[in-house]
Chains A and B, each alone.
Chain A
Amino acid sequence: TQLLEQSPQFLSIQEGENLTVYCNSSSVFSSLQWYRQEPGEGPVLLVTVVTGGEVKKLKRLTFQFGDARKDSSLHITAAQPGDTGLYLCAGVALGSSASKIIFGSGTRLSIRP
């Protein structure tokens, strides 16, 4: 059972365009993290969202946590080729072991110059 569903699965856009990636679940999460992974490497943390409705900005990236803490979104403004990679959301569902961190299905993003 996939607790965290990400959409879209693949996205290829032109440099300069905006995009939004979604992470959805039927479960409530105490917090959600977003990671980016490049080929041949492990995922690297981008941000953590903790409070329902929270919005965090990281340069051109904006992260939002849903009010009910069941979903999150990542919005990239004016995408650049350096944004290319696999974006993963992750978290611990309430009621599960605090150590059991699960990952979403991932969104593979490709930015064309």
Chain B
Amino acid sequence: EADIYQTPRYLVIGTGKKITLECSQTMGHDKMYWYQQDPGMELHLIHYSYGVNSTEKGDLSSESTVSRIRTEHFPLTLESARPSHTSQYLCASKGWSDRESSGANVLTFGAGSRLTVL
């Protein structure tokens, strides 16, 4: 019963095209994240946001940009896609988990957007 949605799930495009990966969450979470992950490999933080009009770069340098105009929406844009951008992009939001008695903030992930740039 995912409450965070990513579109498109799969995208194959040519070099030089502009793309936007959409991410929306219905949980009212302030903090949102974008991670980049090659198949079966670790997640690298590329962008995060504390809330509306707040964006920060993560540890992995990325040519992508993000915006946070509304709490529920955190899109990622590549102005000119290249083959080196081929990867899976995972969006997540951070809030309290009902399952966790510790009350620690946990991440809820979308299903991901797999991007292939030819």
Contact = CB atoms under 8 A, between A and B. Distances in A.
Given A48-B106, A101-B107, 18 more contacts: A31-B104, A33-B104, A33-B106, A33-B107, A42-B90, A42-B110, A42-B112, A43-B43, A43-B90, A44-B109, A45-B108, A48-B97, A48-B102, A86-B40, A90-B107, A103-B35, A105-B41, A106-B40
B102 A50 contact: yes
Interface of A: 2, 31, 33, 35, 39-45, 47-50, 86, 88, 90, 97, 99-106, 108
A88 B92 CA distance: 15
A100 B111 contact: no
B76 to A, nearest CB: 15
Given A41-B112, A90-B107, A101-B107, A106 B94 contact: no
Contact of A48 (B42, B48, B104): B104
Interface string B3-35: 000000000000000000000000000010101
